C-alpha cells in the first residue's frame, strides 16, 4: 500500500481540489464536475475520544466522497468511554450514516489513570455532545478485538488507521497481536507537539493521556506514520465567522460542526486567551490530510515519547538535529494551510449522507 501512496495522494489531491471546485460551482448555481462520480475511496478507521473536534473529524470521514469510513473505535480520553461511545453514535445518527462503532479501552494500557486525574467535562467538549441521544447501538465486539481481527487479514492493508485520541486501543492491539503491524499500511494520528504542549508545557493531551501507549505506537515499526502535531493544528484555526458559514450551509453536518466549533472558540478565548475568535479543530485536520496532503506541511523525523519525567511525561521528542543518526520513524506535521482546511471543511460539511 506504500505505497500506492505517491499515486494515491497525487490522485486524491487532484480529486480533492475537484471536490472543492465542485462545491464552489454548486454554491454558485453551476454543475459539479463529472469526475466526482467515479473516484476510488480511501478506506479509513477512526479511533476517537469524541469530543467536539473528534465529532467534526467523524463527520468529515463519513461524508467526504474520497473516503470510506469503515468503522469508528472509541477510547477513554476527552471524556470517559461511556461518553465517547455515546457521542460517536450521536454524531452518526445525526448525519444519518450507518458506520459500525466499537467500544474500546476505558483506561490507559499501564496506568490506572492519566498522569494526573481529571474529573468532569471539559470546557472544549462538555460531556455529552449537544445532539439528541443515540438511536443506534454500539457493536458487541470490543474495539481492540476488532482492530486485531481487521489487521490480521490481508484486506487490512487497504485501511489507513487514524487515531485522534489517546493511543490505548491501538497500542493494546499491537501488544496483543504484534504481527498486525505488517498489515497496517499507514497510521495518521493527531497527537504530540514539538514546540509547545497544551495539557502541560511539554505535552499534548492525546500522548500525555497514555504515554506508554504512544511509545508503543511510535516504536512499532509501522510502514508509515504521520503525526499531526499541535504545531500544525494551531496553524489551521477555524474562526467564529467560519462557524457562521458552516451553519449557513443548512445541512445536519454544517449545523453540528458550527455548534461544536463555536464551543471550541469560546473555550480557546477563555482558557488560551487567544487574540482572535478562532480555534483549532485538531482531529479534523488529520483526516483532511489524508484527502489532500497539501493541507499540512510535514518533515521526516525520529520521534519517541517520554514516559517518566515529572515535567515532561507525555512529551513527543522530535529529533530535528542535523547531526542525528536516528532513522526517521514518522512524518511530523508542523505547519498547515488554514484557508485550504477551512475550504475543505465547508465543502465536506455541506454534504448530506446518501439516502439509505
Ligand atoms: C487532542 O486532545 C483532545 O482534546 C482533542 O480531541 C484532540 O484529539 C488535542 O490535544
Ligand atoms: Ca480527540
Q: Does position 92 have pLDDT exceeding 90, yes or no?
A: yes
Question: Which of 21-35, 168-182, 274-288 is the least confident region?
Answer: 21-35
Nearest to 254 by CA among 101, 30, 55: 55
More confident residue, 161 or 24: 161
How buried is residue 50: exposed, middle or buried, by Cβ count under 10 Å (0-12/13-18/19+)?
A: buried
Q: Which ligand is nearest to the CA of 47?
A: 2
Q: Does position 7 have pLDDT exceeding 80, yes or no?
A: no
Whether the CB of 164 sits within 6 Å of ligand 1: yes
3-state helix, strand, coil split of the chain in percent (to 5) is 45, 20, 40
Whether the CB of 47 sits within 6 Å of ligand 1: no
Whether the CB of 50 sits within 6 Å of ligand 1: no
* Distance between Cα 86 and ligand 2 center (Å): 15
- Most ligand 1 atoms within 8 A of CB, residue of 167, 191, 203, 280 to mutate: 191
Q: Does position 16 have pLDDT exceeding 70, yes or no?
A: no
pLDDT given at position 3 = 30
pLDDT given at position 356 = 67
Cβ neighbours of 203 (radius 10 Å):
29
CA pair distance 235, 270, nearest whole angstrom: 19
Average pLDDT over residues 145-153: 98
Residue nearest to atom 10 of ligand 1 (CA): 205
CA pair distance 261, 182, nearest whole angstrom: 37
Average pLDDT over residues 141-158: 98
pLDDT given at position 77 = 97
Active site residue 49: yes
Q: In the chain, pLDDT over 70 holds for what percent of residues?
A: 88
Question: Which of 12-26, 60-74, 210-224, 334-348 is the least confident region?
Answer: 12-26
pLDDT given at position 6 = 37
- CA-190 nearest atom, ligand 1: 8
Q: Does position 32 have pLDDT exceeding 80, yes or no?
A: no
* Distance between Cα 154 and ligand 1 center (Å): 31
Whether the CB of 78 sits within 6 Å of ligand 1: yes
Whether the CB of 282 sits within 6 Å of ligand 1: yes
Asked if the peptide bond before residue 161 counts as cis, ω within 30 degrees of 0, the response is no
DSSP string spanning 120-136?
S-BTTTBSS-SSPPP-S
Given a contact cutoff of 8 angstroms between Cβ atoms, the answer to whether 174 and 275 are in contact is no
Query: How are beta strands 67-74 and 42-48 bridged, if at all?
Result: parallel
Which DSSP category does 2 fall into?
Answer: B
More confident residue, 104 or 32: 104
Strand, helix or coil for residue 200 = coil
Element (H, E) at 270: helix 252-271
Average pLDDT over residues 216-230: 98
Write down all domains in the chain, each with its CATH number in brackets: 2-22+39-349 (3.90.245.10)
Mean pLDDT taken over the chain: 90
Average pLDDT over residues 57-83: 98
Torsion of CA 10, 14, 19, 25, to 10 degrees: 170
pLDDT given at position 120 = 65
CA pair distance 2, 6, nearest whole angstrom: 8
Q: How many Cα atoms within 13 Å fall on the side-chain side of residue 293?
A: 15
Q: Which ligand is nearest to the CA of 281?
A: 1
DSSP string spanning 77-102?
SSS-HHHHHHHHHHHHHHHT----EE
Average pLDDT over residues 222-226: 98
Torsion of CA 315, 284, 261, 104, to 10 degrees: -70
* Distance between Cα 54 and ligand 2 center (Å): 5
pLDDT given at position 8 = 42
pLDDT given at position 38 = 60
- CA-209 nearest atom, ligand 1: 2
pLDDT category at 44 given cuts 50, 70, 90 is: very high
Question: Which of 30-44, 101-115, 277-291 is the least confident region?
Answer: 30-44
Each residue's pLDDT tens digit, 248-262: 999 999 999 999 999
DSSP string spanning 45-82?
EEEE--SHHHHHHHHHHHH-TTEEEEEEEE-SSSS-HH
More confident residue, 39 or 29: 39
Amino acid at each position: 500500500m506504500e505505497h500506492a501512496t505517491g499515486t494515491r495522494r497525487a490522485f486524491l489531491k487532484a480529486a480533492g481540489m475537484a471536490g472543492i471546485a465542485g462545491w464552489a460551482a454548486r454554491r454558485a448555481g453551476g454543475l459539479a464536475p463529472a469526475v466526482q462520480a467515479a473516484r476510488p475511496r480511501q478506506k479509513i478507521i477512526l479511533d476517537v475520544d469524541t469530543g467536539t473536534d473528534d465529532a467534526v473529524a467523524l463527520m468529515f470521514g463519513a461524508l467526504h466522497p474520497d473516503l470510506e469510513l469503515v468503522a469508528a473505535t472509541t477510547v477513554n480520553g476527552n471524556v470517559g468511554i461511556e461518553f465517547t461511545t455515546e457521542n460517536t453514535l450521536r454524531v452518526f445518527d445525526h448525519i444519518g450514516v450507518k458506520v459500525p462503532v466499537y467500544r474500546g479501552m476505558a483506561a490507559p494500557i499501564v496506568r490506572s489513570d492519566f498522569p494526573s486525574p481529571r474529573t468532569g467535562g471539559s470546557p472544549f467538549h462538555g460531556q455529552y455532545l449537544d445532539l439528541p441521544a443515540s438511536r443506534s447501538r454500539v457493536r458487541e465486539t470490543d474495539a481492540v478485538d476488532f482492530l486485531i481481527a481487521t489487521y490480521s487479514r490481508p484486506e487490512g492493508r487497504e485501511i489507513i488507521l487514524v487515531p485522534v485520541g489517546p493511543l490505548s486501543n491501538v497500542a493494546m492491539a499491537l501488544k496483543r497481536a504484534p504481527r498486525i503491524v505488517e498489515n497496517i499500511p499507514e497510521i495518521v494520528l493527531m497527537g504530540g507537539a514539538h514546540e509547545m504542549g497544551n495539557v502541560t508545557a511539554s505535552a499534548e493531551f492525546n500522548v500525555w493521556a497514555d504515554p506508554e501507549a504512544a511509545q508503543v505506537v511510535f516504536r512499532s515499526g509501522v510502514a508509515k506514520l504521520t503525526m499531526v502535531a499541535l504545531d500544525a493544528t494551531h496553524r489551521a484555526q477555524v474562526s467564529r465567522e467560519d462557524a457562521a458559514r458552516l451553519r449557513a450551509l443548512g445541512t445536519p453536518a454544517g449545523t453540528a460542526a458550527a455548534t461544536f466549533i463555536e464551543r471550541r472558540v469560546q473555550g480557546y478565548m477563555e482558557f488560551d486567551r487567544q487574540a482572535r475568535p478562532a480555534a483549532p479543530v485538531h482531529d479534523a485536520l488529520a483526516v483532511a490530510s489524508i484527502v489532500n496532503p497539501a493541507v499540512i506541511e510535514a518533515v521526516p523525523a525520529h520521534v519517541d515519547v517520554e514516559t517518566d519525567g515529572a515535567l515532561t511525561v507525555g512529551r513527543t521528542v522530535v529529533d530535528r538535529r542535523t547531526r542525528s543518526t536516528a532513522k526517521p520513524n514518522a512524518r511530523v506535521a508542523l505547519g498547515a494551510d488554514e484557508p485550504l482546511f477551512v475550504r475543505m471543511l465547508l465543502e465536506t460539511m455541506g454534504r448530506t449522507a446518501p439516502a439509505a
